[in-house]
Chains A and B, each alone.
Chain A
Amino acid sequence: MKRSFIANNPSVLIFIACLGLFTLGVTLMSEAFGTAVISTSFVKTLGKTLCLCLVAIAMDLVWGYCGILSLGHFAFFGLGGYMIGMWLMYARTEQIVVASLANAEIPPTAQEVTDAIGNQIFGVVGGSDFPAIWAFADSLAIQLALVVLVPGLLALVFGWLAFRSRVTGVYLSILTQAMTLALSLYLFQNDSGLRGNNGLSGLQNIPGAEAIPQSEISIYFFWASALALLLGYLLAAWVVSGKFGSVVRGIRDDEARVRFLGYSVEGYKLFVFTLTAVIAGIAGALYYPQAGIINPAEIAPIASIYLAVWVAIGGRGRLYGAVIGAATVSLLSSWFTGGQAPSINLGFYTIDWVDWWLVLLGFSFVLVTLFAPKGIGGLFDYLVRKGDAK
């Protein structure tokens, strides 16, 4: 008899419960709907963290389960952010422009409005015309579709090229890193059409929601992020369970053997690569409205390596590991770099964590790789085994 999906994945239920409790707790402590223990900016930080957990799940799927160490998934994340950012910025600027032109003696023509918006958005890089890629920026529906389509298509084409010619292992990592570098260098140009190194800004202002205070908007985005994380987790858990998941893990462990068994290894890899790119894009589209700004530095190759670092620290090859790793490291990072961590006075030298956090992170990452290759998730295994032994 076939066992149900939940019975095969007991961790899914635990995860749902934890996420639900966490969401409820944050909501009850927020400024908008609760006791205002947590500031709005911290709600945003938590919401962003949930998005990072989602992209970490994508990374875990492609690396921990399929064995492709992609150093490009943060590029997909950023692309998703850019796609939603284009609409946010366009629609918001349009409102401002229409409001300022409303008092003009002659009602402005549509062309005048468009020109004024172009001036507003691209004045900073010395342009005023809309590049072709902004053609659909006025339509939320199309930009939302692009959030999925752009990272998905890029991953599809790139993955097809790379997997077809059997680029594997570290070569693939370097290739994906090259792709990320190319993309971020391209976006750094002023004539890339996406405002060069200024990036897109003011994304926290949601057009049409001016009446709603940021404290409430932050909670709505927090809920949306939690929901996306939940769905992403369920999807990932469903993908890795069952026959499909076994083949994917087989590819990780011995690609050649799976190929000899008659499976289309390239097809499986391409599917996982593209699917995770789409998940990353969606996570990015939720992240950047909460961050408020996106610029090409966000998708520099180093960001994607950090993503791999989170997954490795959390424990790859297990979905909850990715979530734990991303949440722990990114929250600790913002705690340490936010200047809240107490400095340590050594007498002759004071360790200021703003300066030394990255050193600590770097070395602790070396230690995790050396002594705990299974990451934090491996700790659970150890505890469970200890419990069984008793």
Chain B
Amino acid sequence: MNQALDLGLDALSLASIYFLAAIGLAITFGVMGVINMAHGEFIMMGAYTGYVVQQVVPDYTLSIIIALPLAFAVTFAAGVAMERLVIRHLYHRPLETLLATFGISVALQQIAKNIFGTQARPLTSPAWLDGAWVLNDVVSISYIRIAIFVLALIFLTLLLFVLNRTRLGLEVRAVTQNPRMAASMGINPDRINMLTFGLGSGIAGIAGVAIGLFAKVTSELGSDYIVQSFMTVVVGGVGNIWGTLAGATLIGFLQKGIEFFNPSNTLAAQTYMIIFIIIFIQFRPRGIIALKGRAAGD
């Protein structure tokens, strides 16, 4: 029982990490249909922003509070710049977006390597996040993981609110479904696309700070998450936030479950999980929560 609870908590925290990493992608890929291979590098940029802030502001609590909005701002700007300069020209050629953004990803990764070097940089969490919440001998969970879980919840709520309850969300959904019709209703699709892409990228930056707190910050940080993030979005179902949540939960629990049976070998767990996903997509090619009707497009 205790063991199951411990496993469940582990799985939940892994799911929230995947969710955080993938949620920005769910917006750019899921809502806009843009394959952004540089998404992982936005995560990395967020993590490095956190590191740089810690170099300037020595107080860890304060620096995290500064780093979160700053990371959002940096990656938001990067995302908007990328959308304006590159992706805008490729909306009708999705496969080429994949390649162009891959080029950006390679370049950004190398630039980060040139600036920060190849060794891992520390992103230290504040003291009050150290330690763990111990229920008993078996069940315990570190505060960082709880914080990430809470952060994931906040983002879920925030995004659902923005997309479903605000003017911006309405316009985003309108442009997603039919850009020309939206344009004739007085919405500027260019502006909306730019903002949506910036929003997705900005969230990646914040996810980067969160991930940096427990993982090593290297220039390859992003590429470790990119394939998993895409799979999370695809498994969950492209085009809505709930789908990403479902995908992240499924993948998180699945991976921890497989690890439970073969604890020594996380690589094997990942391998089997990917194989499972490949087979899963055979049966639900549109993901767990599939869009129906015209919005599904093709």
Contact = CB atoms under 8 A, between A and B. Distances in A.
Interface stretch (B15-23, B44-52, B274-282): B274-282
A119 to B, nearest CB: 23
A364 B102 CA distance: 11
Interface in A150-201: 158, 161-162, 164-171, 173-175, 177-179, 181-182, 185-186, 188-189, 191
Interface string B87-115: 00110011110111011111111110110
Given A355-B113, A355-B114, A373-B96, A309 B102 contact: yes
B282 A165 contact: yes
A361 interface: yes
A305 interface: yes
B4 to A, nearest CB: 27
A175 B274 CA distance: 9
Contact of B111 (A164, A305, A359): A359
A369 B278 contact: no
A355 B110 contact: yes
Given A165-B283, A189-B267, A174 B104 contact: no
A69 B277 contact: no
B95 A175 contact: no
- Looking at B104, B110, B267, the one whose CB has the most chain A CB atoms below 10 A away is B267
A182 B270 CA distance: 7
B285 to A, nearest CB: 5
A174 B268 CA distance: 20
A330 to B, nearest CB: 15
A362 B106 CA distance: 5
Contacts of B234: 171, 174-175
A309 B106 CA distance: 11
B89 A166 contact: no
A365 B231 contact: no
A363 interface: yes
B86 A370 contact: yes
Contact of B268 (A166, A189, A355, A356): A189
A179 B227 CA distance: 11
> A interface, by DSSP: helix, strand, loop or mixed?
helix
A301 interface: yes
A174 B89 contact: no
A164 B281 CA distance: 11
Given A175-B278, A185-B270, A356 B110 contact: yes
A186 B271 contact: yes
Interface string B226-258: 010011001000000000000000000000000
Contacts of A175: 234, 278, 281
Contact of B278 (A161, A169, A189): A161
Given A171-B281, A178-B227, A69 B106 contact: no
Given A170-B35, A179-B278, A189-B267, A302 B103 contact: no
A372 to B, nearest CB: 11
Contacts of A356: 110, 114
A161 B282 contact: yes
A359 to B, nearest CB: 5
Interface string A290-311: 0000000000011001001100
Given A174-B230, A175-B278, A182-B274, A362 B268 contact: no
B274 A366 contact: no
Contacts of A165: 281-283, 285
A367 B94 CA distance: 16
B75 interface: no
Contacts of A370: 86, 89-90, 100
Contacts of B103: 309, 361-366, 369
Contact of B98 (A69, A166, A359): A69
A181 B227 contact: yes
A170 B94 contact: yes
Interface string A89-126: 00000000000000000000000000000000000000
Contact of B107 (A170, A181, A362): A362
Nearest to A176: B278
B197 to A, nearest CB: 16
Contacts of A185: 267, 270-271, 274
B223 interface: yes
Contact of B94 (A169, A188, A191): A169
Nearest to A309: B99
Contacts of B231: 174, 178
A358 B96 contact: no
Contacts of A182: 270-271, 274-275, 278
A177 B230 contact: yes
Interface in B88-144: 89-90, 93-96, 98-100, 102-111, 113-114
A275 interface: no
A312 interface: yes
B265 interface: yes
A235 B275 CA distance: 33
Nearest to B264: A191
A358 B99 contact: no
Interface of B: 35, 37, 86, 89-90, 93-96, 98-100, 102-111, 113-114, 223, 227, 230-231, 234, 265, 267-268, 270-271, 274-275, 277-279, 281-283, 285, 298
Interface of A: 69, 158, 161-162, 164-171, 173-175, 177-179, 181-182, 185-186, 188-189, 191, 301-302, 305, 308-309, 312, 355-356, 358-359, 361-366, 369-370, 373
23 contacts: A165-B281, A166-B285, A167-B285, A168-B298, A169-B94, A171-B285, A173-B35, A175-B281, A177-B227, A178-B278, A186-B271, A189-B267, A305-B37, A309-B99, A309-B102, A362-B104, A363-B104, A365-B100, A366-B104, A366-B107, A369-B100, A370-B86, A370-B89
Given A167-B281, A358-B107, A369-B96, 16 more contacts: A69-B95, A170-B94, A173-B95, A174-B230, A178-B227, A182-B278, A305-B102, A359-B111, A362-B105, A362-B107, A363-B107, A369-B99, A369-B103, A370-B90, A370-B100, A373-B93
